[in-house]
Structure formats: structure tokens, C-alpha cells
Structure 1
């Protein structure tokens, strides 16, 4: 079952309550997300993206995941 942008944002907000989060895409399977959060400061891009994937709580896991593809941009605030 595809995920809505609101469902994705809700999951991300649980781990990143103060983040600036922008979700794009409309098919619920191939989506994009930009997450800007202070917790990313000092972390490399891989560490940042792993934190976001962990926040999705398995929704992208394997061929049975609800979310097939997520184009992800992460960074600390300017």
C-alpha cells in the first residue's frame, strides 16, 4: 500500500520534531524528501541519511516495503 506525503512527514517528525521537512511526489511509491535538522550538524551525508531511513521504521525495507524509492536530501541548517 503506497504512503502519502503526510504519513512520511509524520514518521519523520517523530525523530526530527524541529526539522524543516519537505515531501514531494504524488504516487506514494516514488517520493522525495528534504530534511534540514540541527542534529545533522557534524555528521556526514551517509550518517544523516541513515538517520532518516531509521525514522521511516522499515517502510522502505525490501520488495514488500510500502515506499519503493525516496530521493533524499539532508543537511544541517545554515
Structure 2
């Protein structure tokens, strides 16, 4: 099991500019929802963006510390547009 702070730290270790929100969906410490905003997502499709996030969490996923993820990714520009709406 990993906690929300550890997940945030793993992502930020590979994506230092990332703004990360982590929610434990079940309270069991293995099903999470992530919202990640990073300039590293620029010029990448949704699948490539999600692959970047999965790569930062690969060890926790392969050890089954994380069982399920729901991921939302944004560039800083798309995040601003979302926040305005």
C-alpha cells in the first residue's frame, strides 16, 4: 500500500513542475484518482500523457501497491481553460 503523499512525491520526482491532486477512492489505499497538470504533457495525446504518469508509478503498480488508477491530465493551458469554465 502507498498513501496519497507518496504517490504525489513519486510523480513530482519525475515531473517536478507537476501540480498533483490524489484522492483515495475507497479508503483502502489501493484505488486512486489522480489529476496531474504538467507542461510535459504539451504536444502529447491523452494516451501519451497517461503513459508518462504510469511510468512515474511503475514500481508501485507492478508491486500491486496500487491496484487501480483513474487519471486526468492537463497542460497548464488546458487547466486554465477548464478552471474558467
Cα RMSD between the aligned structures?
1.1
Correspondence 1:60-75 to 2 at 5 A:
60-61=61-62, 64-75=63-74
Q: How many residues align?
A: 75
> What do residues 6-39 of structure 1 show as CA deviations (whole Å, max 9, x unaligned)?
1101100101111110001132111111000001
The residue aligned with 1:76 is 75
State which structure, 1 or 2, has the greater radius of gyration over its C-alpha atoms: 2
* 5+ residue gaps, structure 1: none
1:36 correspondence with 2:37: yes
Distance 1:34 1:24 in 2: 9
1:47 correspondence with 2:48: yes
* 5+ residue gaps, structure 2: 78-85
Following TM superposition, the consecutive aligned residue runs of length 4 or more in structure 1 with deviations greater than 6 angstroms are: none
User: Comparing both structures, which one devotes a greater share of its residues to helix?
Assistant: 2
